[in-house]
Amino acid sequence: MAERVFITGLGMITAIGDDVADNLRSLRAQESGLGFTRQLDTIYKEVLPVAEVKHTTAELLAMAGMTGREGFTRTTLLGLIAMQEALKHAGVSDVQDEVTGFINASTVGGMCDTENVYFDIADPEKTGDFLNYIDTLDCADCTQRIADTIGFDGPITTISTACSSSANALMYGARLIKAGLVRRVVCGGTEALTRFTLNGFNSLKNIDKRPCRPFDQDRNGLNLGEGAAYLVLESESLVKERNATILATLDGYANTNEAFHPTAPSPEGDGAYAAMKTAMEMGGCIPADIQYVNVHGTATLSNDVAEGMALQRLFGENVPKFSSTKPFTGHTLAAAGGIEAIYSVLAISHQIIFPNLHFKDKMEELYITPETQLVEQYPVRHVLSNSFGFGGNNASLLISKYEG
Amino acid sequence: MEELKQKLKVQIIEALNLQDTRPEDIDDNAALFGDGLGLDSIDSLELMVLLERQYQIKVEDPREGRKILQSVQSMAEFIQSKQPA
Amino acid sequence: MKGKCYIQGMAAITPQHTFEGDPMAQPMVVTHGNMLSCAEPDYRSFIAPNSLRRMTRVLKMGLTASLKCLQDSGIAVPGAIVTGTGKGSLQDTERFIKEIRDYQEKALNPTPFIQSTYNAVNGLIALQQKCTQYNNTFVHRGFSFEHALLDSMLLLHEGTADVLAGAFDEITTEHFFIKGRIGHWKKETISNDKLYDHPSPGTISGEGAVFFALTPVVTTQSYAQIGGLQMLYKPSPEKLNIALPKFLQQHGLQAADIDLVLTGENADTNHAHYYEILNGYPQLPFKHLSGDYETVGAFAMWLAAQILKHQQIPSQWFPMLQQQPAKLRNILIYNHFFGEQHTFMLLHAV
């Protein structure tokens, strides 16, 4: 029989905190990370709010212990900082003491740095240090730099399915463990703000000029964010062998596709419904077992209708407490699934539900509303974490309390 | 107005790369979306870009855009209403 | 991992005439210049004009190859779609970067942004075939296709009835120039048919879109069985040396059982030494046909499957072939992408 998959380490950096503890503190204090960018060179500097990590790239280089090293993009550094925390948290001082895989997620790789030098790179007349950044054009660069720094010797790859990328990384990692190919794998994603993605979402008229308000009647789009998050997944046998602490289990997951439109979900939320239902059933749960759904909740017009319809279809009159944490972190694209999986683990380990900030009025299409208060001492045993994206890519994870 | 509509049709065909369509194939009042020309929501964003690049008219709200972009006629009327007489 | 994996259908758009007719009977396409481009088919037979009008090149290539593959296999709606791409749609990425600059971030068309996302081709396939099942895209240089293949094999093992697995990459003149700046390509201009006469730093670039329909059961239609797959990331020479015999042993084989190795040898003297592990094996290089790119492993697999199905090596594509092997049961593919991602793939005749 396939082994169960346990979560044994967490590491993250977002606009609301440099590590997991700092994130939890901000969530509890209801402090949003949204504001105006200090790092991006864009005409929307003081127009479009973003959730930016509050450090310069040089500061991140020092935080990652890489001062003086060349070619480390902001994407890589965010990832490296989160990775170092995750391994430390799991009590792994040497990843080579057990063959360890690394499944990363990225949407635009090192674009944050390459977009500033791209025209020099492409110009035969110009030469200089920017040539160091040629290799950072793709998504594999950040993964390999993190892998090389840490010393991973197991399976290594990068997934890119837009906003569901790191949820898919977690799913793939869990499946590698279940298939017996590896006993430990670190999964998640990293994303830095770029002019490219900011203008991309803006061209889709998908960005709200105000702080985003998921599941609100008056919502008008998302805010982008940046960050990185990794979770250490281990097989039951390895956890027992090394007597590791189990933070939560990953018993269910699903990946479905809308097959509806390049950038929009079906209005009835068919893909979201199927993803949640399949993940739940895989983990042996029925709707009544779920206490909390960390929704994708981007606050775009179409996502929240589709996702809300899917929740109503799946849970009927008894929709569990749900909230979008994107008003805290912004939409961190490839990192979102990882960040929200960690928040789901925190919901279980601290018996807490995070508020959906900026919500005022119920959407006319739905009868449900998100949780707007911080709820402490809530008995959270099973959480669904949703990540939906472009190309119709949907992913849901079922994260559960370990009860033997 | 007629001239503007002619020009718009040419610009629409070019912007959306409607290779097998000629300007005279597009009826002034035919629906651009759905059953008419068969355009979709991405085309509607591209048409808003057309308005901005060619006519310096910015449409902020996609919901407002949908009304303006119903047909060549409605687009032309909107452009005219925004331009000094 | 237990369970079997058979190629039930496939299609390839490459710099050779691999897409239509009997590909094994086609003459070798010879290109003078270090950048090989695909022989593109007429996309209108596969994609409706209304969908085609916005698509850039690699989207058309990827979608068309996937549709032809499904046709070939007789599977309309696969149980999963899994792809690999090193670079996604370069044309769209380049276009969007330029539009941001040229229009100073104002009034931008969303299309190149949407199409630049690496999972755009997957989304299009799912949309066209109404496939609402598992859908994933790997974007890791020389492991992109191979992880798509591993994911597919896992899916079959987990009970998925059939999987559409594929890979696509394109090259543009701008990107060819950029990668040339870090020594990817040869300084001297050559013809692809003379590639191996020019051992020097760098190689020639290429592109391609190749798809496979995979099932856990064999039929009379099956091209080949995929027996094994292994990836090694930046292996030390010692690790690489022991990896090959170990890989074969894991699959119950010895060196003598390998009838042919298709090698990623590409006349790049910076990274040629890795191929010394193949000394003593009967081998043929294939990159004079495709050029080099992240997901060229998919083309190698297509080639191996064709050879196994036809029980013959197309001699017009391999002028270096001395004589046809006595038997063609097991083909090994060994490739690496600029020395970083090394892969073994093992195919058996059915």
Q: What angle do CA C43, C46, C47 make, to 5 degrees?
A: 80
Q: Three-state SS across chain A?
A: CCCCEEEEEEEEEECCECCHHHHHHHHHHCCCCEECCCCCCCCCCCCCCEECCCCCHHHHHHHCCCCCCCCCCHHHHHHHHHHHHHHHHCCCCCHHHCCEEEEEECCCCCHHHHHHHHHHHCCCCCCCHHHHHHHHHCCHHHHHHHHHHHCCCCCEEEECCHHHHHHHHHHHHHHHHHCCCCCEEEEEEEECCCHHHHHHHHHCCCECCCCCCCCECCCCCECEECEEEEEEEEEHHHHHHCCCCCCEEEEEEEEEECCCCCCCCCCCCHHHHHHHHHHHHHCCCCHHHCCEEECCCCCCHHHHHHHHHHHHHHHCCCCCEEECCHHHHCECHHHHHHHHHHHHHHHHHCCEECCCCCCCCECCCCCCCCCCCCEECCCCCEEEEEEECHHHEEEEEEEECCCC
Q: What's the whole-model pTM score?
A: 0.97
Q: Which chains touch A (3 or more CB pairs under 8 A)?
A: B, C
C54-112 per-position pLDDT tens digit: 999 999 999 999 999 999 999 999 999 999 999 999 999 999 999 999 999 999 999 99
What is the token pair recorded at A360? 């005022």
- For residue A296, indicate whether it is catalytic: yes
Q: What are the φ and ψ backbone dihedral angles of C239, each rounded to 5 degrees?
A: -65, -40
What is the Cα–Cα distance from C297 to C262, expressed in whole angstroms? 10
Q: What are the φ and ψ backbone dihedral angles of C48, each rounded to 5 degrees?
A: -65, 145
**Which residues in chain C are contacts of B18 at CB distance < 8 A?**
53
Stated as kind and residue range, the H or E segment containing B33 is none
Query: Residue ranges per domain, chain C?
Result: 6-215, 224-348
Distance from CA of C62 to the nearest CA of B (A): 20
What is the token pair recorded at C322? 């001395």
Domain C6-215 has CATH 3.50.50.60: no
Q: Give the model's pLDDT for residue B41.
A: 86
User: Quick check: B45 and A203 CB within 8 A?
Assistant: yes
Which contacts qualify for C94-98: CB closer than 8 Å, 24 or more apart?
Answer: C94/C172, C94/C174, C94/C175, C95/C56, C96/A196, C96/A199, C96/A200, C97/A115, C97/A118, C97/A196
- Please tell me whether residues A14 and A44 are part of one structural domain: yes
Q: Give the model's pLDDT for residue B33.
A: 87
Domain range for B63 is 2-82
More confident residue, C305 or C3: C305
User: Quick check: C110 and B45 CB within 8 A?
Assistant: yes
- Please tell me whether residues A193 and A269 are part of one structural domain: no
Among the ranges given (A317-321, A349-353, B53-57, B60-64), the one the predictor scored with the smallest mean pLDDT: B60-64
For chain B, the domain total comes to: 1
A228-268 per-position pLDDT tens digit: 999 999 999 999 999 999 999 999 999 999 888 877 888 89
What is the Cα–Cα distance from C209 to C59, expressed in whole angstroms? 9
Q: Give the model's pLDDT for residue C50.
A: 87
- Please tell me whether residues A285 and A381 are part of one structural domain: yes
- Please tell me whether residues A194 and A265 are part of one structural domain: no
Instruction: Please state the rounded mean pLDDT for residues C244-260.
Output: 97
Q: Are A323 and A354 in contact (CB under 8 A)?
A: yes
- Residue to mutate among C85, C138, C184, with most A CBs inside 10 A, is C138
Percent of chain C with pLDDT over 90: 97
- Please tell me whether residues A103 and A23 are part of one structural domain: yes
B56 touches chain C (CB under 8 A): no
Q: Are strands C260-263 and C330-337 parallel, antiparallel or unpaired?
A: parallel
> Which of residues A189, A221, A241 is at a domain's end?
A241
Q: Give the model's pLDDT for residue B85.
A: 57
Q: Give the model's pLDDT for residue C284.
A: 98
- Residue to mutate among B11, B12, B14, B17, with most C CBs inside 10 A, is B17
What is the Cα–Cα distance from A38 to C137, expressed in whole angstroms? 33
| pLDDT at C211 exceeding the cut of 80 | yes
* Confidence grade of residue B40 (pLDDT, cut at 50, 70, 90): confident
- For residue A331, indicate whether it is catalytic: yes
> Which of residues A241, A269, A288 is at a domain's end?
A241
Residue A68: give its domain's CATH number: 3.40.47.10
- Please tell me whether residues A284 and A321 are part of one structural domain: yes
Q: Give contacts of C 84-113 with B, CB under 8 A.
A: 103, 106-111
Say what the alpha-carbon torsion angle B59, C119, A107, A231 is, to the nearest 10 degrees: 130
CA atoms within 13 A on the CB side of C83: 30
Q: What angle do CA A285, A327, A143 make, to 5 degrees?
A: 75
- A248 inside domain: no
What is the average pLDDT value for chain C, to the nearest integer?
97
* Beta carbons within 8 Å of B56's beta carbon, 6+ residues apart: none
How many beta carbons lie within 10 A of that of residue A38, not counting itself? Answer: 11
Going by C-alpha positions, the residue among B64, C50, B41 that lies closest to residue A263 is B41
Secondary structure of residue C309 in the 3-state scheme: helix
B15 touches chain A (CB under 8 A): no
Q: Are C253 and C347 in contact (CB under 8 A)?
A: no
- Please tell me whether residues A227 and A306 are part of one structural domain: no
Instruction: Please state the rounded mean pLDDT for residues C115-124.
Output: 96
Residue with tokens 């480390």: A72
CA atoms within 13 A on the CB side of B65: 22
What is the token pair recorded at A367? 């009868």
User: Quick check: A257 and C133 CB within 8 A?
Assistant: yes
Residue with tokens 């992240």: C294
| Residues in chain A, pLDDT under 70 | 1
* Beta carbons within 8 Å of C226's beta carbon, 6+ residues apart: C5, C6, C7, C149, C153, C214, C301, C345, C346, C347
Domain range for A103 is 5-241
Residue B6: give its domain's CATH number: 1.10.1200.10
Instruction: Please state the rounded mean pLDDT for residues C138-156.
Output: 98
**Which residues in chain C are contacts of B19 at CB distance < 8 A?**
49, 53
Task: Indicate the residue type of C39.
Answer: A
Say if the ipTM goes beyond 0.95.
yes
Give the torsion sign (CA, A329, B62, A274, A258): negative
What is the token pair recorded at C167? 């890979």
For chain A, the domain total comes to: 2
Going by C-alpha positions, the residue among A125, A147, A145, A127 that lies closest to residue A135 is A145
Residue contacts between A and B (CB atoms, under 8 Å): 14
User: Quick check: C137 and A140 CB within 8 A?
Assistant: no
Going by C-alpha positions, the residue among C33, C38, C41, C44 that lies closest to residue C14 is C38
Q: Are C167 and C83 in contact (CB under 8 A)?
A: yes
Q: Give the model's pLDDT for residue B39.
A: 87
* Beta carbons within 8 Å of C194's beta carbon, 6+ residues apart: none
- Please tell me whether residues A215 and A265 are part of one structural domain: no
Which of A89, A187, A212, A296 is catalytic? The answer is A296
- Please tell me whether residues A351 and A228 are part of one structural domain: no
What is the token pair recorded at A393? 């890519």
Instruction: Please state the rounded mean pLDDT for residues C233-255.
Output: 96
CATH architecture, domain defined by C224-348: 3-Layer(aba) Sandwich (3.40)
A54 touches chain C (CB under 8 A): no
- Please tell me whether residues A119 and A197 are part of one structural domain: yes
Which of A163, A187, A212, A285 is catalytic? The answer is A163
- Please tell me whether residues A109 and A222 are part of one structural domain: yes
b/e A59-75 (16+ beta carbons within 10 angstroms → b) = ebbebbebeeeebbbbb
Task: Sort C42 into a burial class: Cβ within 10 Å, 0-12 / 13-18 / 19+.
Answer: exposed
Q: What angle do CA A158, A162, A163 make, to 5 degrees?
A: 110
- Residue to mutate among C113, C169, C294, C338, with most A CBs inside 10 A, is C113
- Please tell me whether residues A257 and A237 are part of one structural domain: no
Residues, chain C, total? 350
Secondary structure of residue B20 in the 3-state scheme: coil
Domains C6-215 and C224-348 share a fold: yes
Q: Are A146 and A174 in contact (CB under 8 A)?
A: no
> Which of residues A189, A208, A241 is at a domain's end?
A241
Stated as kind and residue range, the H or E segment containing C135 is strand C134-138
